[in-house]
Amino acid sequence: MSEPSEWQNRIAGEWHGRPSLFNAKGVWCGYEDIRRSSVFEDGKTTYYMDGGLEGGGELAGQFRLGAPFAFGVIDSDSNRVYTGPDFFGTGQPYGGFVDAHYYGPGWQVDLNTWNHNLPDGETQVYSSVLYQGWTVVGCFNGVYKRREEPPLDFLADETRNGPVPFILPTKKAGGYEGVCELWGADQKLIGDVTVTLELEPIDLLRTRAHVTWSGALERSYTVEQRRNGTQLFYEGPDAWGNAQAFGRANFPSVHFTDVTKIKGREFMIDATPGMNAGETLAVSYEVFDGNTLSSVIHGVLTWR
């Protein structure tokens, strides 16, 4: 390929982050100090990742890096193919969001990575859910900034906020709202969708949520959300399902009463220790018609 893809241009440069590591139950285990870059040179793309794990608990031996990672990428805006030696698999971009599935021989896990480039062009919301076969064994997630040097204030914020659990406001009614992009399964932009998440607390563990999508995709539903630690349960009347949170990132799987279902990630970027639930929610949803991907929604919602 003589020129880099649109996605490759989005992620050019060096990115710094301090993602947190969680075990399968959502228990915080440690930090990963990471510098990563994706370099297009002489028609070839190579992805580099250097850093080390601090802490890690029972997962430390598996996920501590013994050497920097590097792997080739066949660059494309349809399928990005990871050719090893440190990761093998593929990723599919949908504008500023990529859904990647690959295997890491060094970590000995299958990974599903969601990387969301926010509209400012300098911030990425990142997560990698880690699998042994079909079984989740852990998750890395956090926020990255594009900088030539480590942004010390930002990394200090990620150190403080990384372990914060995903908990919606429990005594304050209100909502999150924002304009998101809708992409088809064919990776073509369809249009904008205004996403509204209205929250009506019932008690400290239950919230009634009214969700509305309007614009290029229309849907409205109400669901009662019940929290049990790091887990959420969606208990009707218009949709059913559950979710597992790893720190500030909540991963829902929701089934409607027709053939539609969604899986997603809701990331509270600015949630801090204490009772601040965070006013900025970066969301990514994959919408399925039965078992077939039909569209992808991603964007940023703010509290109002």
Q: What is the CATH classification number for the domain harbouring 82?
A: 2.40.128.20
Cα radius of gyration rounded to whole Å, the chain: 19
What is the total count of domains within the chain? 2
Q: How many CB atoms lie within 10 A of CB 42?
A: 4
Domain boundary among 120, 138, 161: 161
User: Cis omega before residue 237 (within 30°)?
Assistant: yes
Say yes or no: 10 and 154 in one domain.
yes
Structural domain contains residue 167:
no
pLDDT value for 10: 92
Q: Are 209 and 235 in contact (CB under 8 A)?
A: no
Name the residue with tokens 């989740």: 136
pLDDT value for 1: 53
Contacts of 77-81 with C-beta under 8 Å, sequence gap 24+, read 77/5, 77/6, 77/7, 77/187, 78/187, 80/5, 80/7
Say yes or no: 157 and 282 in one domain.
no
Say yes or no: 152 and 195 in one domain.
no
Structural domain contains residue 209:
yes
Q: Are 301 and 281 in contact (CB under 8 A)?
A: yes
Say yes or no: 150 and 239 in one domain.
no
pLDDT value for 173: 93
Q: Are 230 and 165 in contact (CB under 8 A)?
A: yes
Question: CA-CA distances (angstroms) from residue 49 to 71, 242, 269, 280?
Answer: 9, 33, 23, 28
Q: How many CB atoms lie within 10 A of CB 13?
A: 12
Say yes or no: 245 and 196 in one domain.
yes
Say yes or no: 15 and 139 in one domain.
yes
Say yes or no: 138 and 180 in one domain.
no
Domain boundary among 161, 193, 224: 161
Say yes or no: 108 and 231 in one domain.
no
With b meaning 16 or more CB within 10 Å and e meaning fewer, what string describes 201-222?
A: beeeeebebebbbeebbebebe
Q: Are 102 and 30 in contact (CB under 8 A)?
A: no
pLDDT value for 40: 83
**What span, in angstroms and rounded, lies between the C-alpha atoms of 251 and 270?**
17
pLDDT value for 98: 97
Domain boundary among 161, 194, 227: 161
Structural domain contains residue 1:
no
Say yes or no: 18 and 136 in one domain.
yes
Q: Are 194 and 177 in contact (CB under 8 A)?
A: yes
Structural domain contains residue 151:
yes
Burial class (CB in 10 A: 0-12, 13-18, 19+), 161: buried
Say yes or no: 37 and 83 in one domain.
yes
CB contact set of 147 (below 8 Å; sequence gap of 6+): 14, 15, 16
Structural domain contains residue 168:
no
pTM of the full structure = 0.95
Q: How many CB atoms lie within 10 A of CB 171?
A: 8
Output the furthest CA–CA distance in the chain (Å, rounded): 59
CB contact set of 278 (below 8 Å; sequence gap of 6+): 248, 268, 269, 270, 271, 272, 303
The three-state secondary structure class of 93 is strand
**What span, in angstroms and rounded, lies between the C-alpha atoms of 270 and 278?**
5
Structural domain contains residue 27:
yes
Domain boundaries, position 92: 6-161
**What span, in angstroms and rounded, lies between the C-alpha atoms of 212 and 193?**
10
Say yes or no: 101 and 247 in one domain.
no
Block means of pLDDT (10 residues each) for the chain, length 304 residues? 84 94 98 89 85 91 87 92 95 97 96 97 97 98 94 96 93 95 98 98 96 98 97 98 98 97 97 85 98 98 94
- For the four alpha carbons of 233, 91, 178 and 118, in that order, the dihedral sign comes to positive
Say yes or no: 127 and 263 in one domain.
no
